[in-house]
């Protein structure tokens, strides 16, 4: 999880099995967070085997030099010939 500049948490949800790799990034409304609350958020990115992803393990949010918000996703190959080390960058559009 990482926090957007507006204070909304971005949650990386991962799926990894021997046959399938997938991910979702969900934006949670920060104002809805309070003790005991059950929250669900908007899915802002979903990717699977058809896209150039791997077992994405890390998420960060950064502000680029041009002022735009970027989401960074990373994976590592875990010393496996079946996985890759990747860094993916996406621009967050509000």
Q: What is the pLDDT of residue 31?
A: 93
Residue 17 has pLDDT above 80, yes or no: no
Residue 24 has pLDDT above 80, yes or no: yes
Higher-confidence residue of 40 and 78: namely: 40
3-class secondary structure per residue, the chain: CEECCCCCEEEEEEEECCCCEEEEEEECCHHHCCCCCCCCCEEEEEECCCCCCCCCCEEEEEECCCCCEEEEEEECCCCCCCCCCEEEEEEECC
Q: What is the pLDDT of residue 15?
A: 87
pLDDT band at 75 (very low <50, low <70, confident <90, very high): very high
Whole-structure pTM value = 0.85
Domain boundaries, the chain: 2-92
Q: What is the pLDDT of residues 28-66, one digit of tens each?
A: 999 999 999 999 999 999 998 888 888 899 999 999 999
């Amino acid at each position: 999880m990482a926090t957007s500049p507006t204070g909304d948490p971005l949650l990386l949800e991962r799926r990894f099995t021997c046959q399938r790799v997938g991910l979702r990034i969900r934006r949670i409304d920060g104002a809805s967070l309070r003790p005991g609350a059950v929250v669900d958020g908007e899915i802002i990115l979903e990717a699977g085997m058809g896209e150039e992803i791997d077992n994405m393990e890390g998420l960060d949010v950064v502000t680029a030099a041009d002022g735009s918000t970027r989401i960074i996703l990373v994976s590592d190959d875990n010393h496996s010939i079946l996985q890759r080390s990747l860094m993916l960058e996406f621009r967050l559009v509000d």
